[in-house]
Amino acid sequence: MSTAAPPDPAPPTKEATSIRAALLPEDLAEFDAGLRRVTNRASDARGATPPHDFIETWWRIAVFSLNPEAHRTARRQSEALLRGEAVPTVDAGTVLSRLLAPPPEHPHGEARARLRPADDDMTKATERELGGGE
C-alpha cells in the first residue's frame, strides 16, 4: 500500500498577515521592520496600505518559503556567492530541460517531485559543500 504525498500548501494571499504567516522564522524580524517602515511612509502620505512593491517582494519570499529546505539552501548559496565563494551551479539549459520534460505518469506530481531540491543531486552536493547536508 502506498501513501499519497500530502498536498502542497496553498500559497499565501497578498495580505501582510497571510505573507507573514508563511515566512520562515528567520525572516520575520526583517519583514516586520520593513512593514513598519513602509506603513509609516504610507501613513505619512495618507495611504492606508503598504506599497505594492513591498507586498509583492515579500509574497514571493513567502511562496518560496513553502519549501523551507529550498529556501534555506538558496540563502546559503547566495550568501556564499556574496562572500566570493565558488558555488556549484546548473546551466540554464539543464534547468529548462528539467522543467519542460513531460512527466512520465502523473501530469503534476512527478514533475513537481523532479523539482524538489531534496531529490536533486546537485543540491545535495551543495549542501555537503556548505556544511549543511549529509
Backbone torsions φ then ψ of 42, nearest 5 degrees: -65, -40
> What percentage of the chain carries pLDDT values higher than 90?
44
pLDDT in tens, 12-56: 999 999 999 999 999 999 999 999 999 888 777 666 567 889 999
Q: Is residue 92 over pLDDT 70?
A: yes
Three-class SS state of 88: coil
At residue 22, the pLDDT reads 96
Q: Are 68 and 24 in contact (CB under 8 A)?
A: yes
Chain mean pLDDT for the chain: 79
What pLDDT band is residue 134 in, cutting at 50, 70 and 90?
A: very low
Return the number of other C-beta atoms located less than 10 Å from residue 19's C-beta.
27
Residue 76 pLDDT greater than 50, yes or no = yes
| Contacts for 97 with CB less than 8 Å, ≥ 6 apart | none
Q: What is the pLDDT of residue 95?
A: 83
Q: Residue 108: pLDDT band by 50, 70, 90 thresholds?
A: low
